[in-house]
Structure 1
Amino acid sequence: MKAQFLVLTNPVAGKEADFHRWYDETHLREVCEVPGVVSAVRVNAVPGEPPAYLSCAIYTIDAPVPLAVVEEVKARWRSGRFTLTDAMEADILMQLYA
């Protein structure tokens, strides 16, 4: 079953360059190493009226139980198996669309 997993985030003020570098060069690759995650893309908000979140990562999942893949991503995040950064705000919104 294919599904989309969206993650909305913001960089810490003053650390935007570090945030973008970490997300594009490290984090997307690490999440794609999770079995069932088949691709990832990240988009940024355009300048103008500030949205609630400035960055949106969209991961495509192809697995019999997409929610199990999302739970594995969350487990790796909590356990420190992903490289983390202090350039990302702690407020994160994650949503699965099957």
Structure 2
Amino acid sequence: MARKKGTFVTGNRFVVLSNPIEGEDDKFNKWYDEVHVPEVLEVPGVVAAQRYALAGLDVLGEDLPTQPPPPTHRYLVIYELDREPQAVMAQFVERMSSGELSLSETLDLSTVSFNCWTPHGNRRLAD
């Protein structure tokens, strides 16, 4: 979504799922919070970020048609975008190539998963 005279409309989301290498949670979280998120927030088109840690959920009841698989990631970050995802991704690639966007040795690159999401339908609130 594009900027409009000093205002912006958010809607697109860049979602990243990740894990630290074994035993490096503290260093990973420090890097993510103090280095990586601030670097990503400097990318044109990224207007906000929120990190999450897996809370865990016990799915109770044998009445479910199937049990969900166990989670594969322990951390999630959702970046809010104010422009088209492809334009933001091009900036990510450019900044990673130039070193402006860093990766930590504590990040388990073999488990990183990311994608961009655009709104589908209207946002709805419970009564």
| TM surpasses 0.5 | yes
Structure of larger gyration radius:
2
Once residues 113 and 94 of structure 2 are traced to their aligned partners in structure 1, the CA distance between those partners, rounded to angstroms, is 15
Which residue number in structure 1 is paired with residue 122 of structure 2? Answer: none
Once residues 48 and 16 of structure 1 are traced to their aligned partners in structure 2, the CA distance between those partners, rounded to angstroms, is 20
Give me the TM-score of the superposition, normalised by structure 1. Answer: 0.87
Which residue number in structure 2 is paired with residue 29 of structure 1? Answer: 38
CA contact (8 A) 1:37 1:69 kept: yes
The one of 80, 90, 98 aligned to 1:71: 90
Q: Which stretch of the first structure deviates more once superposed, 24-33 or 46-55?
A: 46-55
Count of matched residue pairs? 97
Seq. identity, %: 36
Greater helix share, 1 or 2? Answer: 1
Root-mean-square deviation (Å): 1.7
Deviations 1:43-98 (A, max 9, x none): 010257762011111000001x2221122113322442223211110121111001
Give me the TM-score of the superposition, normalised by structure 2. Answer: 0.69
SS where residue 30 of structure 1 aligns?
helix
CA contact (8 A) 1:5 1:70 kept: no
CA contact (8 A) 1:5 1:60 kept: yes
Listed as ranges, the matches of 1:41-80 within 5 Å are 41-47=50-56, 51-63=71-83, 65-80=84-99
Once residues 80 and 33 of structure 1 are traced to their aligned partners in structure 2, the CA distance between those partners, rounded to angstroms, is 13
- Structure 1: 5+ residue stretches without partners: none
SS where residue 39 of structure 1 aligns?
strand
